[in-house]
Chains A and B, each alone.
Chain A
Amino acid sequence: MSDKNPYEDRGLNAGSVLNQLEAIDADREVKQEMRRMSRRSFIWAGIAAVGVYEFVGWLASRHEDLGTPWPFRRALDANEDLAMDYFGPKRLAPTFSKSDLTLEDVDGQVGIRSNGAYGIDDDPDFDPKAWTLTVNNVFGKDKPVQLTMEDLKKLPSTTQITEMFCIEGWSIKVEWKGIRFVDFAEKYPPNPRVFEKADGSDKPAVRSKPQNLVRFVSMKTPNEAYYVGLDMASALHPQTLLCYEMNGAPLTDDHGAPLRLAIPVKYGVKNLKRIGSITYTDEKPADYWAEQGYDWYAGM
């Protein structure tokens, strides 16, 4: 603002004093109007600020549902519903070439980064030679099915280089070799909710009518210390493997020998190492990390 009297240029004629008074009056009125509007606006702003602050506190202090306040669990579940809806069973994870493999220094040797040994290093009595895979709730079987590695290797094998995403925020590209879970599930089908035969077979239609099957798959380590839950669509995804080789070599202990899950459509936490049992179920299975406040779905 300039220092000169703003009313000076209105002149000092007979009416000027009256004009000045009128102008001062008018400006006072403008200021009053501003004050009136400010009061109203700032009261609202104050109420809104306190409201937001209180609401955030309220959200964070709700009772927990699987390790997170229930509003967050509801939000994660809503995201899950949406993700399951747009999940494309034929939409594939990008695949890479051998030159893209992520090789790191692991204890002085070139290897594959390993993270998490729940169900492995807490199970010193595990005997790999005596290992069998237990499959529960197989169609037409009253008892759990026990399978050896030999049984499994009768199924066709697949090799793929895909990226595994750790929930911590890093990723590695690995060559996985194993059996497609969908092939496995066709051989040892889940109990269906609605029974409809596959063409030329007495078994449920796993590939063509997956919606008829029970909705989930649970996998656990032999000592049941680590466990994951999967939705059927992700389990039956063509890139989901029961894996026994990584980067061309048999699985090592810390990567889950003798058999692990490789599921590129999920975070690393779902890629269970050392599978002891597979259970088909229609109830949403327990999941180790979901119980600690993480998203159950964990889909990529």
Chain B
Amino acid sequence: MAHLTEDSESGSKRQVAGRLYLEKKHPLAIRWFHWINFPLIAIMIWSGVLIYWANGVYRLGSISLFPDWFYHPGYQEKPPEAGLYDLTGRLAEGMSWHFMLMWFFTINGILYVLYTALSGEWRYILPNRSTLKEAIHVILHDLHLRKDHPPRQKFNGAQKLAYTGVIIMGFGSLITGIAIYKPVQASFFTQLMGGYTVARFLHFWLMILFVLFFLVHILQVMRAGWNNFRSMVTGYEIVAEEESV
């Protein structure tokens, strides 16, 4: 029996006689950046909410962001201290986490961008002229408003926009974060953003955008199925010959 041969350029593994082959999808570095980022951003959001609680002034129309039940669900039945998810009165704790992990979030983000730029991976996520049209096609297809399938590629138009957008969001969180962390030493950033209050407002809404991104991301990963999810862990996806691009 012949063995799988690895293509030195694409990293794909195939058996000449067969129809299935293993397509190298995500480089090891990208998988590391991705999975390191996951707990980092989760804790950044959680600790950010602990901080935001101390001056939770934003509203969405008539909805307060956030209502009491958000900070400590079930608080009517039991004192807040007893709640597993009590997010109130923990400003110092939130700041401790936030100002420790911000370094790792930033370093991981910078390394990711550098790697993407230098390795050529940027080609797969940077939008081009046809991206917007493709993205609309993908969205209509996913909402069952359009039957024909968008052209298959590593990342479709919607993904390109989302993944490029989330890098910009990360950068936005970094500079709005600097603007509210050091509004005197880094007053340039603070002024650039229209002041401390505006910078804090933007920092908050970027967090909301990250949460929305996360929800859509999870939904789409679930829809795409196991083979796709597995490729973010192993790096490879099983592909049948005729489906390959």
A295 and B14 in contact, given A25-B1, A26-B2, A300-B185 (Cβ under 8 angstroms): no
Cβ of B110 within 8 Å of any chain A Cβ, yes or no, is: no
CB atoms of B4 and A41 under 8 A apart: no
Which residues of the partner chain A approach B100 to less than 8 Å between Cβ atoms? 71-72, 75-76
- Listed A/B pairs (15) with beta-carbon separation below 8 Å: A1-B240, A6-B19, A6-B240, A23-B17, A30-B18, A31-B238, A41-B235, A42-B234, A72-B100, A167-B95, A170-B55, A289-B92, A293-B96, A294-B95, A295-B99
**Interface code B218-245, partner A: CB below 8 Å = 1, 0 otherwise?**
0000000000001001111010101100
A29 and B191 in contact, given A41-B234, A168-B54 (Cβ under 8 angstroms): no
A33 and B18 in contact, given A75-B96, A300-B185 (Cβ under 8 angstroms): no
Residue in B16, B19, B96 with the greatest tally of chain A CB atoms within 10 Å: B96
CB atoms of A86 and B185 under 8 A apart: yes
Cβ of A91 within 8 Å of any chain B Cβ, yes or no, is: yes
In the complex, A88→B185 CA distance in Å? 7
**How distant is B176 from chain A, measured CB to nearest CB, in Å?**
13
CB atoms of B230 and A31 under 8 A apart: no
Residue of A nearest to B2 (CB): A26
Instruction: Beyond the given A37-B234, A83-B182, A293-B96, please list 15 additional residue pairs across the A-B interface where CB-CB is below 8 A.
Output: A2-B242, A6-B19, A26-B15, A30-B22, A37-B236, A42-B234, A48-B35, A67-B92, A79-B99, A94-B190, A166-B55, A289-B92, A299-B185, A300-B183, A300-B185
Cβ-neighbour of B238 out of A22, A34, A42, A167 (below 8 A): A34
CB atoms of A163 and B35 under 8 A apart: no
**How distant is B60 from chain A, measured CB to nearest CB, in Å?**
18
Interface footprint category on B: 35 or more
In the complex, A164→B25 CA distance in Å? 51
**Interface code B1-27, partner A: CB below 8 Å = 1, 0 otherwise?**
111100000000111111111100000
In the complex, A87→B180 CA distance in Å? 16
A38 and B92 in contact, given A27-B19, A29-B15, A93-B184 (Cβ under 8 angstroms): no
In the complex, A65→B13 CA distance in Å? 53
Residue of A nearest to B203 (CB): A169
Which residues of the partner chain B approach A38 to less than 8 Å between Cβ atoms? 230, 233-234
In the complex, A129→B16 CA distance in Å? 97
In the complex, A294→B96 CA distance in Å? 8
Which residues of the partner chain B approach A299 to less than 8 Å between Cβ atoms? 182, 184-185
A169 and B55 in contact, given A23-B18, A299-B182 (Cβ under 8 angstroms): yes
**How distant is A70 from chain B, measured CB to nearest CB, in Å?**
11
Residue of A nearest to B187 (CB): A94
Cβ of A221 within 8 Å of any chain B Cβ, yes or no, is: no
CB atoms of A34 and B19 under 8 A apart: no
